[in-house]
Amino acid sequence: MPTFDVVSKISYQELNNALSNCLREVNTRYDFKGLNITIEFKEKEKEIITVAPDNMKLKQINDLFTGHLVRRKIDPRIIKIKGVEDATGNSKRQTIELQEGIDQDSAKKIITGVKASKIKVQVKIQGDELRVDGKKRDDLQETMQLIRGIDIGRPVEFTNFRD
């Protein structure tokens, strides 16, 4: 019985490359010269903390980082930018949260969409990913196209395809 998994994962190697490229550009740009700007990646908490002198510089850094994500072929929907808070030394701090895995609401949205299409497949929730089973390979490929069309607010990938 053919199956595949629907997942939403982050390539941390590419994320680190995008971060280091962004930091390199911040250090060489003339409008950021002499300013105390830091970008710190906390892997355990799955968040990135940016510190800049004011809100405008924070926005510029976030735009730069998003651009570097796109250059490294990472979907920018994996990040969720939170609000600005005051930091030490008259500067501003902003947290960027990394979104990985498919949450329950998104999984239910996908399952509802697949059931409404009347394709003869079964979709099961397995933690933060989905498993799709079907009798025909064509049904699974049709389901993949359908899932790509459903917007859940983060990128999805199809892995572990078995015939």
Q: What domains can be seen in the chain, in order of their start residue?
A: 3-8+101-162 (3.30.70.860), 12-98 (3.30.70.990)
Higher local confidence (pLDDT), 94 or 1? 94
Query: Residue 60's pLDDT band (boundaries 50, 70, 90)?
Result: very high
Query: Residue 22's pLDDT band (boundaries 50, 70, 90)?
Result: very high
Three-state secondary structure readout of 72-128: CCCCHHHEEEEEEEEECCCEEEEEEEECCCCCHHHHHHHHHHHHHCCCCEEEEEECC
* Alpha-carbon 39 to chain mean position: 18
Tokens of residue 94, six digits: 């902003």
pLDDT of residue 163: 79
Q: pLDDT tens for residues 131-146? A: 999 898 888 899 999 9
Q: pLDDT tens for residues 86-130? A: 888 888 999 999 998 888 988 999 999 999 988 899 999 998 899
Percent of the chain with pLDDT over 70: 100
Q: What is the dihedral of CA 114, 117, 120, 124, to 10 degrees?
A: 10
pLDDT of residue 35: 87
End-to-end CA distance of the chain: 7
pLDDT of residue 153: 85
